[in-house]
Structure 1
Amino acid sequence: MTEKIPPAPSGLKRNGRGRALWRAVLGPLDLDLHERFLLHEACRAADLLDDLAAELAVHGMVLPDGRPSPLLVEVRQQRVAFSRLLASLRLPEDLADPGKRPQRRGAARGVYAIGGKSA
């Protein structure tokens, strides 16, 4: 368990979910440098998802001409990126008891084509 949580990187929203994620993970865990980089990117993605949700709330999911908003595609892509970043960190299910990280599973791998070949 870390004694002091490192300050959140600049660029994260002051009261955003990115900073909250930073504190929640680095409170009980000591991450290596490459893991902190992944966490930083996940925090940025969390803030971006909040921004995109706010834009969708203002402009709606459908454009005036009836087409779906392009923001929907970006939200989907950011959610995929966010989940892959978190999977790459292999965070324990219970951050209050960080004794053992889950096994490496391949959750961050890409999609496979028919026959098991990588796409």
Structure 2
Amino acid sequence: MTRTPTGLDKPGQRLWKSIDGEYELAEHELAQLLEACHVRDTINTLRDQVRSDGTMIGSSQGPRLHPGIVEIRQQQLALARLLATLGVPGLEDDDLPASKGVRGVYKGRRA
């Protein structure tokens, strides 16, 4: 188990600990995991902003869907792909379907 990197918020730290404690990762996989943790934090930040602003926001053309909602979906896809390359399932609170990855299932190496 490696040390949790600095600069991660609680969701990213939780993701790091849950995967790093369960799998033995190579250096390039640790880099992917770190990126996934940052994406997880970004999703959390965007959700907080949408919760604060509401799903509909005002614009010069009238009410419209909060742009954060679209970005959350994009970040969720990025997270799912990063986790798929590591061969680990998504987090329950991400509400993502089980992924077989972009090019199929990737198997992680259990510690």
Q: Percent identity?
A: 35
> Which of 12, 34, 39 is equivalent to 1:45?
39
- Give the number of the structure with larger relative contact order, counting CA–CA contacts within 8 Å between residues 6 or more apart: 2
For the aligned residue pairs, the C-alpha RMSD in angstroms reads 1.8
Q: Are the counterparts in 2 of residues 85 and 108 from structure 1 also a CA contact under 8 Å?
A: no
Structure with the higher helix share, 1 or 2: 2
Q: Which residue of 1 aligns with 2:8?
A: 12
Q: Which residue of 1 aligns with 2:96?
A: none
1:17 is displaced (CA, Å) by 1.3
Q: Within 5 A, what are the aligned runs for 1:15-26? A: 16-26=10-20
Which ranges in structure 1 are unaligned for 5 or more consecutive residues?
94-104, 110-119
Q: Within 5 A, what are the aligned runs for 1:4-83? A: 5-13=1-9, 16-64=10-58, 65-83=62-80
* Moved >3 Å (runs of 4+): none
> How far apart in 1 are the matches of 2:2 and 2:32?
15
> TM-score, normalization: structure 2?
0.75
Q: Within 5 A, what are the aligned runs for 1:93-108? A: 107-108=101-102
